């Protein structure tokens, strides 16, 4: 096995049994999402994992891989259930990844918070009222997450970090995926601030499509803090301009092409240097 070959355990997440096709989840997703037709969702060929939400809804994924991938990238949407456009963009990007050659294995998780999307109206938090993007086990979470929630958000219920880190099945699933897949890069899609945020090593992308880099800070329990700062895995956080509407199809494609270019220019060389023992490299801390 070459230095950049994928470890065997990274081939796929734990599949639910039996591994059904995606028609049932498309029946759930299409009526709830902007700019997603049934044909697009069905072409995504989503597969169920063993991951489930609080209310028992499956979390789905799709892997798209080069024949001999050099690096692993995880793309996550729908951590906040009311940010519908984030899930839609992931589904469009699955199609682009299938049509555009690259040197990566892409793991797409379009909807990490299905209960939040299903709520009426859709909610940022999961069915337990927890903000999943404040539930990751960052250092001193017990002190810092509570302090931030009480003092900075004034106990905003939309940003409750939960009773303890990884208290939620959805955040535990994502945490386990990070540990098993060991991505060299994580792309987390949100809305509606219309910018790029970045945490971790390497040089961040200056822009993706019309979204420009504007780093907004570090939050206790966030994925960017946990993976990017604590684990050393670069995290690109995309904040789409609108939670209920996607960018145009052309804009989503341009964002995808810009991401591919940046990955090739910045992430791949760091992975190669790390494999050759000449640097720390992106994702070097993923297994710590």
Q: What is the DSSP string of 10-55?
A: GS-PPBPSS---SHHHHHHHGGGSTT--HHHHHHH--EEEEEE-TT
Tens-digit pLDDT profile for residues 166-181: 999 999 999 999 999 9
Alpha-carbon distance 29 to 23, whole Å? Answer: 10
pLDDT confidence of residue 222: 98
Element (H, E) at 188: strand 185-190
Per-residue pLDDT band for 8 (boundaries 50, 70, 90) equals very low
pLDDT confidence of residue 67: 87
Mean pLDDT of 150-172: 98
pLDDT confidence of residue 54: 98
End-to-end CA distance of the chain: 22
Question: Strand, helix or coil at 111?
Answer: coil
Indicate if the alpha-carbon torsion angle 78, 82, 86, 87 is positive or negative.
Answer: positive
Mean pLDDT of 184-199: 98
Domain ranges of the chain: 21-273
Of 97, 95, 92, 56, nearest in space to 77 by CA: 92
Please state which architecture CATH assigns to domain 21-273.
Answer: 3-Layer(aba) Sandwich (3.40)
Task: For the full predicted model, state whether its pTM sits above 0.85.
Answer: yes
Residue 19 contacts residue 47 (beta carbons within 8 Å): yes
Considering the chain, what is the average pLDDT of its residues? 90
Per-residue pLDDT band for 6 (boundaries 50, 70, 90) equals very low
């Amino acid at each position: 096995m070459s230095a950049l070959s994928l470890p065997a355990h990274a081939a796929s997440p734990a599949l639910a049994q039996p591994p059904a096709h995606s028609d049932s989840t498309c029946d759930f997703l299409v009526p709830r999402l902007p700019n997603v037709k049934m044909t697009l969702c069905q072409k995504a060929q989503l597969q169920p994992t063993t991951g489930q939400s609080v209310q028992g809804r499956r979390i789905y994924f799709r892997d798209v891989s080069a024949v001999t991938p050099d690096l692993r990238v995880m793309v996550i949407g729908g951590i906040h259930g009311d940010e519908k456009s984030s899930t839609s963009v992931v589904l469009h990007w699955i199609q682009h990844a299938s049509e555009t050659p690259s040197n990566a294995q892409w793991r797409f998780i379009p909807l990490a918070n299905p209960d939040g999307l299903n709520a009426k109206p859709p909610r940022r938090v999961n069915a337990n009222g927890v903000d999943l993007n404040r539930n990751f086990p960052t250092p001193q979470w017990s002190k810092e997450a509570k302090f931030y929630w009480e003092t900075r958000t004034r106990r905003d219920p939309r940003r409750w970090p939960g009773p303890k880190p990884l208290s939620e099945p959805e955040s535990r699933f994502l945490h386990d995926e990070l540990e098993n897949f060991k991505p060299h890069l994580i792309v987390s899609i949100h809305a509606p601030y219309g910018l790029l945020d970045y945490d971790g090593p390497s040089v961040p992308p200056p822009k993706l499509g019309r979204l420009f880099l504007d780093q907004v800070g570090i939050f206790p329990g966030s994925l960017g803090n946990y993976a990017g700062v604590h684990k050393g895995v670069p995290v690109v956080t995309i904040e789409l301009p609108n939670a209920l509407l996607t960018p145009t199809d052309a804009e989503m494609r341009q964002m995808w092409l810009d991401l591919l270019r940046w990955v090739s220019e910045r992430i791949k060389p760091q992975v190669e240097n790390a494999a050759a023992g000449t640097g720390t490299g992106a994702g070097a801390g993923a297994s710590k």
